[in-house]
Amino acid sequence: MNLLKKPLWGTVVLLALSSSIFAGAGDAFYFPVQDYGNADYFQLGDSRTGYGYHTADDINVPSGTAVYAIADGVVKKSGNDLSSNGIGGNYLIEHNTSDGIIVTVYQHLDGSNREFYLGETVSRGDLLGYTGTTGTNGTAGSASGTIQHLHFGIKKGPYGSSYDSSCYTATSAYAPYSGYTSCEDEVSGNSSTWYDPRDFIATELWNYSTKYDTNENNEWRFYKIHVPGSYARLKVTVDQIMGDVDLYVRENNNFPDYNNFDCRPYRAGSSTEVCSMGNANNKDFVIGIHGYAYQDSDFRLKIRLSRW
């Protein structure tokens, strides 16, 4: 765990307020790498001269980083592109979620060490392989200057469904998954066909951060936080509630739901809700905020860490 990186991506997250895209209440997605930090090489929607708009997050991780399936699914492609500008080991995995069918895209793995092949089923959290140094991932040859990273994207719709070929220059069946689109609205706005991975899976928070957000009725918002070993207590406060939301906190990287939580103040209406979690050192928590039915609710989420 590289603590020096954390405050940076905390800042990024605060700027990147989620839209209506969030993980469905029935799903608990895993991040594809354990430290899904700052995607500052390319993020979803970034434009790159000669390529188009990036359809994924590039998560800066060194080669050899374990990559996991974010949900149960079926492998639609398990490849190893070793050409000079190739993407290395790669997967397309189709998942049936409460937000509909999606395809997740993983590129720049060590393709000689893939754990799964076409048609095989994967379970959430399964190890897919490790990031590699082939082709466009790394510092050698034509890829000189690139930062080692995992390219990770989430496309709406089943694998092989029709797509606007004018937006994707490649012509193969894999064209919409190749990494870039020439159409900006494919990656931004309500009509986009790509999810923002960070919003879809969960929002990462960091200590001392404050976030303003909105729930629609019956929606869940999820936020994930890792408490460093030097802090013993995590205090989560939801206040400035316009409407009615309920706070849930659950330990050990598990997503809370109506029946599974370690703290749920469950106060009525716009009352402030607080969870104070002791013995929090080195633990991962997922914070769930549920919008009570029949109204949209604004709220403020505050995260504080203390040493005792």
Q: Which residues bind Zn ion (CB under 5 A)?
A: 58, 151
Segment (H or E) for 11? helix 6-15
First CA to last CA distance, the chain: 22
Per DSSP, helices labelled H in 162-307 are: 197-201
Helix (H, G, I), strand (E, B) or coil at 162: coil
Q: Which is nearer to Zn ion, 51 or 231 (CB)?
A: 51
Q: Which two tokens stand for residue 25?
A: 């209440």
Write the CB contacts of 161 (distance below 8 Å, at least 6 apart in sequence).
Answer: none
Cα angle: 277, vertex 258, 204; to 5 degrees = 50
Q: How far is the CB of 24 from Zn ion (least distance, A)?
A: 25
Distance of closest approach, residue 149 Cβ to Zn ion, in angstroms: 7
Amino acid letter, 274: V
Closer residue to Zn ion (CB): 102 or 275: 102
Least distance to Zn ion from the beta carbon of 221, Å?
26
Q: Among residues 58 and 94, whose Cβ is nearest to Zn ion?
A: 58
Judged by beta carbon, residue 151 or residue 224, the one nearer Zn ion is 151
Closest to Zn ion by CB, 10 or 52: 52
Sheet holding 297-306, edge to edge: 210-215, 297-306, 233-242, 273-277
Residue 249 Cβ vs Zn ion, minimum distance, rounded to whole Å: 33
The minimum distance between CB 289 and Zn ion, in angstroms, equals: 31
Q: Which residue is closest to Zn ion by CB? A: 151
Q: Which of 261, 299, 281, 288 is nearest to 207 (CA)?
A: 281
Nearer to Zn ion, 174 or 285 (CB): 174
| Cβ–Cβ under 8 Å, residues 30 and 97 | no
Q: How far is the CB of 151 from Zn ion (least distance, A)?
A: 3
Nearest to 116 by CA among 137, 90, 150: 90
Task: Output phi, psi for 4, to 5 deg.
Answer: -65, -30
